[in-house]
Amino acid sequence: MDARLEKYLDKVDRYLRPLPTSERVDIVKEIKGSMLEMENESLAVEDILERLGNPKELAMAYLGDLLTRKQGFSWNRLLLVCAFYGLTGFSGMIVIPVLGIIAPTFIFCGAVSPVAGLVKYVSSLFGYDMPYVMFQLGDFTLSPGAGFIWSIVVGAALVFLGKGSWELLLRYIRAVSRTKRNLSI
């Protein structure tokens, strides 16, 4: 078997440490059997690893399946569910509102910034001074032309940060949702 596949199995085994050794060995044997079948089908190592996905996610799926298959009371199960909801609830009170506010605010400000720079530049071309639209740092004030260019750069950066914040929020929600599905009682 290829060294990359062995390394993958080692990672899965590491993530399955909360399980008893016998269950962990059975799971690793099952995954190894699937790998050997795919090798017999002449699949490349990269294709096999792509089909199996992230070793941590695969191990967590097995852990979630084992938790939901067991019926009755289990201290480990109770502690795991309490830890999940406690951590998710606490982090959700901070992460979701902060990213939910930051993302649209950055995107909106990123769209308004170049418009403000354009208004300042056009008004200066006609000899007007727009007092509320200025690009100033201490006593130094940018010229309207340089201010317009700077407003485009700042606007692009804000839109980029806003989209990144939004993507982070969606990833957080998907991760919590996926983990909850694996732990459902």
Residues 161, 80 share a domain: yes
- For residue range 13-36, list pLDDT tens digits in order: 888 887 778 888 888 999 999 899
Domain count, the chain: 2
Predicted local confidence at residue 168, as pLDDT: 93
Residue 155's pLDDT is what? 95
Q: Same domain, yes or no, for 92 and 5?
A: no
Give the whole-angstrom CA distance, residue 141 versus residue 57: 53
Task: Kindly report, residue by residue over 155-170, the tens digit of the pLDDT.
Answer: 999 999 999 999 999 9
Residues 21 and 86 in one domain: no
pTM value?
0.53
Q: Are residues 157 and 78 in the same domain?
A: yes
Q: How confident is the model at residue 137 (pLDDT cuts 50, 70, 90)?
A: confident
Do 141 and 181 sit in the same domain of this protein? yes
138 conformational bin, left if phi > 0, alpha if psi -120 to 50, beta if neither: left
27 with 55, same domain: the answer is yes
Instruction: Please tell me whether residues 64 and 104 are part of one structural domain.
Output: no
Residues 38, 54, single domain; the answer is yes
Residues 114 and 145 in one domain: yes
The band of 108, judged by pLDDT with boundaries at 50, 70 and 90, is: very high
Residue numbers of the domain that contains 60: 1-69
The CA-based angle 8-11-17, given to 5 degrees, is 145
23 and 82 share one domain? no
pLDDT at residue 150 is higher than 80:
yes
Q: What burial class does residue 178 get, using C-beta atoms within 10 Å of its C-beta: 0-12 exposed, 13-18 middle, 19+ buried? A: middle
* Radius of gyration of the chain, Cα coordinates, nearest whole angstrom: 27
Same domain flag for 145 and 103: yes
152 and 87 within one domain: yes
- Output the pLDDT for position 136: 74
pLDDT tens readout for residues 22-80: 888 888 999 999 899 988 988 888 988 888 888 888 887 777 666 555 555 667 667 77
